[in-house]
A and B are shown apart, each in its own frame.
Chain A
């Protein structure tokens, strides 16, 4: 397996070198489950699937090193056998999802405000830059400040800075116990209750509001969860796990509505922001899912006073209707792109418009 993976990496390097020479764009894919994200990029498909396998996993070090083309389901079941998990609860959006694509897209699940985002758990990467060089940054240790933190920069870069071939991640023990409580209540008090979790020592691991019901997940030791359940009250929800999994994978009925789906990122606050269409509040108020026909400009108008960001989340052409970095920051973004990929061949235009 290791030799296969090495030769697959070598083949990818060769592919990239040739593409750089010819100025041929490459559309880098893992399981091709998140092609609806981001902007349309031009390029010949270039798959990382052949670079697979868990390289090294020592549960007591809380670190796993895995090749990018490894399926997310395979990695998660390996970790589960040792009672551990990917702490950021990544959405897969399909059976074929790979860990490389997961990190490149930088998406995190319902636990994000309480445990951290995908980027928070990246310790090191091997990647192929736009010149076809195989580079290694970071490592398998939790504290490492040698050189710029390029590994973390790769999270959410959508493969535009380099093709990830191997990733080291911090993992955590699965909580001993999990329980979901529900509360029927209007939006304003629900929002206040959700934001209050940030400043309280409660083992909250997810909080969402949909159709007049606040859903709160508690995770931790048995003692911690039952004490917190007593403090919070509400009703114990037997189908809690299914709810969080369907929310993470966008399989709740809410997501099947016909209108385009928008993701709106916001600083958590007590106010509820009212958008035209249907709304699901996630991440304790820091992320709104909005099903709306109102269009990017109209939604932008509503978000601007709160300093939030909008991402079109339904399909490729909608991806173009997303916030992009502005002015000086966009210039730095373009500069970084050129520093890693001088010929501009890795997923060109996927993250922000080309020059």
Chain B
């Protein structure tokens, strides 16, 4: 597709602040076509950006203005299901949820469940190493994908990973998953399927104090219980969600914890009892156990709709994706509120409490001059705070274009050079998704130079180059 009207829908992904019209959009429908595109692009040194559903939040699929936007939308078939080995072979354009729907009649499902799972594709999940609310117990994409067929730059097709455990050589699957489309284009994927747990129960606890909620999370885990989901929301997020979907959340709580336990009936019953008494011991004001499936769904509806709910109370919002060691939660939340006050912006926090993945949502109005810039600056400061307490700038959304400068905070020169050397093994000319995920050393030199104030480096305790 070459006309402006046809190219327009591809100008951005879920991070709509970054836009570019692709040079051309290509929609291959078979492996040979993907190989031909990759061969031609290599021959003429044309950049290639692969795209799934475009739901990513870091600009990983933002097009290159002089490049090919390779949409994998037509690769949308589930090729086979092996009910004995509990695996499925699928094309990359298959939606995440469609896999679970297709195998539901066999009592199986695909575990990683990013919040965009109705729309996002498994190919995009592989590129981003997508997580979800259940990953503390069931793992990320990297734990649930066994093998993949990959087209390399230049058009060569390889199979990486294996359905047999421990294939010879290096774990190329590990390198590929989360590589943000910089190493190759995935054309088939083998996923691991799990049995649907017979029982799932949810409970909701309200706290008058965020620190108490954080200590309750630690207490549950110290007791040897690994919940299927463990989510926290702060007051602004609670109120926004309650106004939107009436999930039954207490509006006056400083924090709520949602905890889901799954397994056999006997197991879940014992754990529900232990968890509720732990929650009370940690100072919970109230603990509600969902009486039935519809109440469980209602508890989750507030959390699952937290982003659109925040979207209703503010013209725009910007979602941050840092991970922190959980022990630093109090410090980080306090830090965020101080930074937000200084920037004159409001922040609502939702938190995958079990695994430390924090999503502060910065509320802003893109209509007001300068407000988006201030929002971006606040987001960057929050991510740097996450790194300072021993965390990371991205838990599950990827670096993309959005966090490329923060990579200079998290990694030193030698690590970045090592990343570039790894990339060059697969794509020596740097044609796959250029300018994303790993910054050039000169970009970092500029970024760090810009952030030197009064002759002092920010965060002097961090190693620098």
Contact = CB atoms under 8 A, between A and B. Distances in A.
A221 B262 CA distance: 12
B167 A265 contact: yes
B323 A268 contact: no
B417 to A, nearest CB: 8
A119 B174 contact: yes
B15 interface: no
Among A116, A137, A142, A333, residue most surrounded by chain B Cβ atoms (within 10 Å) = A142
Nearest to A144: B392
Nearest to A139: B392
Interface string B422-435: 11111000000000
Interface string B148-171: 000010001011101111111111
A265 B267 CA distance: 33
B218 interface: yes
A149 B129 contact: yes
Interface in A155-187: 155-157, 161, 172-174, 176
A148 B163 contact: no
Given A143-B140, A146-B392, A325-B169, A267 B85 contact: yes
A330 B221 contact: no
Contacts of B158: 328-329, 332
A241 interface: no
A309 B168 contact: yes
A305 interface: no
A198 B108 CA distance: 10
Nearest to B135: A143
A58 B326 CA distance: 10
Nearest to A224: B267
Contacts of A289: none
A269 B414 CA distance: 45
A323 interface: yes
Given A146-B393, A150-B422, A173-B224, A286 B164 contact: yes
A112 B165 CA distance: 9
Chain A, interface size category, equals: 35 or more
B164 A267 contact: yes
A116 B111 CA distance: 14
A201 B425 contact: no
Contact of A265 (B87, B136, B166, B171): B166
Interface string A313-355: 0000000001111001110110110111000000000011000
Contacts of A129: 418
A238 interface: no
Contacts of A223: 264, 266-267, 269-270
A287 interface: yes
B197 A60 contact: no
A144 B140 CA distance: 10
A133 interface: yes
B410 A146 contact: yes
Interface in B16-53: none
A141 B386 CA distance: 11
B356 A143 contact: yes
B224 A152 contact: no
Nearest to A221: B267
B421 interface: yes
A278 interface: no
Contacts of B170: 153, 156-157, 161, 333, 336, 351
A325 B269 CA distance: 48
B464 interface: no
A270 interface: yes
Interface stretch (B1-9, B115-123, B295-303, B396-404): B396-404
B284 interface: no
B456 interface: no
Contacts of B355: 141-143
A142 B135 contact: yes
Given A139-B391, A147-B399, A153-B171, A176 B224 contact: yes
B438 interface: yes
Contact of A140 (B163, B174, B325, B422): B325
Contact of B396 (A143, A286, A336): A143
Contacts of A134: 414
Given A145-B129, A220-B267, A351-B169, A58 B164 contact: no
A315 B391 CA distance: 42
A222 B398 CA distance: 40
B175 A333 contact: no
Given A173-B224, A265-B164, A307-B164, A148 B169 contact: no
B401 to A, nearest CB: 14
Interface string B339-355: 00000000000001001
B198 interface: yes
A135 interface: yes
B85 A141 contact: no
B369 to A, nearest CB: 32
Interface of B: 83-87, 106-108, 128-129, 131, 135-136, 139-140, 142-143, 152, 156, 158-160, 162-172, 174-175, 177-179, 193, 195-198, 217-219, 221-222, 224-226, 263-264, 266-267, 269-271, 323-327, 352, 355-357, 390-399, 403, 407, 410-412, 414-415, 418-419, 421-426, 437-438
Given A267-B164, A269-B85, A307-B164, 8 more contacts: A113-B165, A136-B412, A136-B415, A141-B325, A142-B356, A142-B357, A223-B270, A329-B160
10 contacts: A58-B325, A60-B217, A141-B392, A142-B356, A142-B357, A146-B394, A147-B407, A152-B174, A173-B225, A201-B196
Would you list the 5 A-B pairs with minimal beta carbon distance, nearest first? A173-B224, A335-B425, A223-B266, A325-B169, A143-B395
